[in-house]
Structure 1
Amino acid sequence: MESEPITRVGDQETAQADREVKHLKKTLGRLDIIFLIVAAVVSIETLGQVSGFGAETFTWALVLAVFFLVPYGLIFAETGGAFTGEGGVYIWCRKAFGRPLAAIASLLTWVTQPVWVGGSMAFIASETWNGYITKFEPGSVTDYVFKLVFIWLTVLAAIVSLRRGKWIPNLGAILKIAFLAIFLVTTAIYAARHGVAGLSFHDFNPTLAGLLGATPL
């Protein structure tokens, strides 16, 4: 009776991973991937804050596209194409540096999510609901219940099977595209009726304030 080979740090896959891969099913199509990218990259909730920095926002967007988004995408495409094992960043770092550093890399990848969901997004959702749907006092029991429900709905959306859960970001991407289209159309209508303020070349000059303010958003 042959025993399974002993796997060490840096091996291609563990025996258990090999068994699990056989049960994986492809659930994301090309259109799903596009929607996931739109849902992840397009941030409508920060448009108001970004627009406050004026024309230099376009300058910093171009800088980010050239020096961050495109190289970042190429790195992930190359690495993901070369190492196709299930696990993404964890697998890549495990092959290069071992399990402990791979675990740290995974932690750093996801550690911002609790702050983002339980912090900014929960408060934005609460303020939006309070301002446009149903009024409730900030800091009240209703406010806390709303934020807790929002957080747990986000958690459930993240752990549900990908076959069903993919429709949540897909719907979000479709709504983002629809909202952006509405914004563009209404802006064009307003510009046609009332005109627009001109922008000079100087307005596009990047500043430190724009770097510190617009770039993180």
Structure 2
Amino acid sequence: MGDIAKSAAKLSVFSIIMITITSVDSIRNLPGAALFGSHAISFFLLAGLCFFVPTALVCAEMSTTYPKQGGVYLWGKETLGHNFGFVTVWYQYAENIVYYPPLISFIVATGTYPFFPHLAENNIFMLVMINVIFWALTLVNIFGLRLSSMITNVFGMIGLIFPILLIIALGGYWTYTNPEASHISLRHVSDWLPDFSQSGIGASFTAVVLSLTGIEITTAYANEVKNPQKAYPKALLVSTVMILVSLTACSLSIAAVVSHNNSSLSEGIILAFKTFFEDMNLPFLLPVIALAIVFGSLASLNNWIIAPTKSLHVAAKDKFMPIRLSKENRNKAPVPLLLLQGAIVSLLSLVFVLVPNVNQGMWLLNILMTQLYMVMYICIFISFLASRRKHHHIERPFRVPGGKYGMIIASTLGLISCFVTIFVSFDVPSSINKSTAAIALISGFIIFSLPAIAAIVYRNKQLKQA
């Protein structure tokens, strides 16, 4: 997603729309959503209205009410105290840590499939490449040689916007010219409505919700637009429609050419492009689009490697961890935290050795990531309600529309969506043993929650000794 420098001048509505779209829109999770087939339309609409819009509105109000550096940590700290703030930011940090192995495995599978298809499903190869790529980019960040914003923007455009538009266009063309070969149908009303009888529906729904996360980062710019109370909802409405339409169209394109049985989180995108290009007698374009997606994903990964450590750096100043862990080098890189992050990612990557195939490893990490992310959003909604009650006299450049009823509707829909997503996420795809998955997910959640408890205990001890 990357850091986007704020302009001294007020941003236009169009700028806010583009910031939101480029930060949230992603094709990586779409193979999971594509398992819904034509029913993805209703599930994206459901997740958009019940989760994405309430989250965007609440985060916009919180970011403009508490504009100082600190993000979700500051929101929790200002409303319910230091400990609650740390719990909020910790789950954001933990979610990011779990995010890296699936993202890199997607990059590796996409980059290798056109040249060495068998390696895309090789567990050992995936394990090695995850560590090589992540540690290489970690060193790049430590030595301050990050990609320039210009290169990052170009890579983002090549690896995100271009593939999304291309796969939508190819999907429309392929469905029009090969209607009998399509794996989905949109002829009947039932094709558009939710189908709750599908196997593994919960895991697929987590992929839909996961595709709509990250808005808490972009809402920091709500205060940078002229007349935010009117302009931001307008920008949000437009970007929400564009995000939902683009993600839904991409999912339908993938579902049309990749059957449910052959779908793969790591290879789903590239398999769809392969089918399109072979049908058009343009197979030589497959490596080109694969490399474009790889470059875009690497740019995103490079930008995010240092992002979660910045939030912990703010929390470290409040004595939640030994201050030496947050020391920075001359390039302003928190080296100890980056090295710790790399060690955790290396441990997480071992999941690809413990599961039968790469696809199962990606599913488990994706689901765990979503569960951790939902806890962070639950904390945000709780902070929002506490803020309205405790700090009702604070000036709020942007407020959730609808007054008291708008506040209740947004927070209720958001909280219910988060809890439902966590609950249904245990309905894993049929290829994964449900009891084994449940044990792995619960264990993973507990393991990632323990450091938050330890940090709070550490801080309390430090305060008593002071």
Contact 1:60 1:206 in 2 (8 A): yes
Residue 89 to residue 60, structure 1, CA distance change in 2 (3 Å):
same
TM superposition shift of 1:65:
1.1
Per the alignment, in what secondary structure is the counterpart of residue 214 of structure 1?
helix
TM superposition shift of 1:73:
0.4
Contact 2:38 2:191 in 1 (8 A): yes
Per the alignment, in what secondary structure is the counterpart of residue 43 of structure 1?
coil
Partner of 1:132: 114
Partner of 1:176: 160
TM superposition shift of 1:35:
5.1
Letter in 2 for 1:69: F
Cα displacement string for residues 48-79 of structure 1 (whole angstroms, at most 9, x for unaligned residues): 33222122211011111111111100001111
1:212 to 187, 199, 202: 202
Write out aligned runs for 1:68-107 (5 A): 68-107=51-90
Partner of 1:6: none
TM superposition shift of 1:116:
1.6
Residue 193 to residue 130, structure 1, CA distance change in 2 (3 Å):
closer
TM-score (norm 2): 0.36
Residue 45 to residue 59, structure 1, CA distance change in 2 (3 Å):
same
Partner of 1:201: 189
Partner of 2:239: none
Q: Distance in 1 between matches of 2:70 and 2:145?
A: 16
Partner of 1:187: 171
Identity of aligned residues (%): 18
Q: How many pairs align?
A: 190
Contact 1:94 1:101 in 2 (8 A): yes
Per the alignment, in what secondary structure is the counterpart of residue 53 of structure 1?
helix
Residue 154 to residue 203, structure 1, CA distance change in 2 (3 Å):
farther
Contact 2:42 2:192 in 1 (8 A): yes
2:35 to 33, 48, 52: 52
Q: Distance in 1 between matches of 2:65 and 2:37?
A: 41
Letter in 1 for 2:108: S
Q: Distance in 2 between matches of 1:206 and 1:36?
A: 31
TM-score (norm 1): 0.70
Q: Which runs of 5 or more structure 1 residues have no equivalent in the other structure?
A: 1-25
Contact 2:42 2:194 in 1 (8 A): yes
Q: Which runs of 5 or more structure 2 residues have no equivalent in the other structure?
A: 208-466
Letter in 1 for 2:103: M
Structure (1/2) with the larger helix percentage: 2
Write out aligned runs for 1:19-168 (5 A): 27-29=5-7, 30=11, 34=17, 36-118=19-101, 120-133=102-115, 138-140=122-124, 143-153=126-136, 155=138, 164=148, 168=152
Contact 1:55 1:204 in 2 (8 A): yes
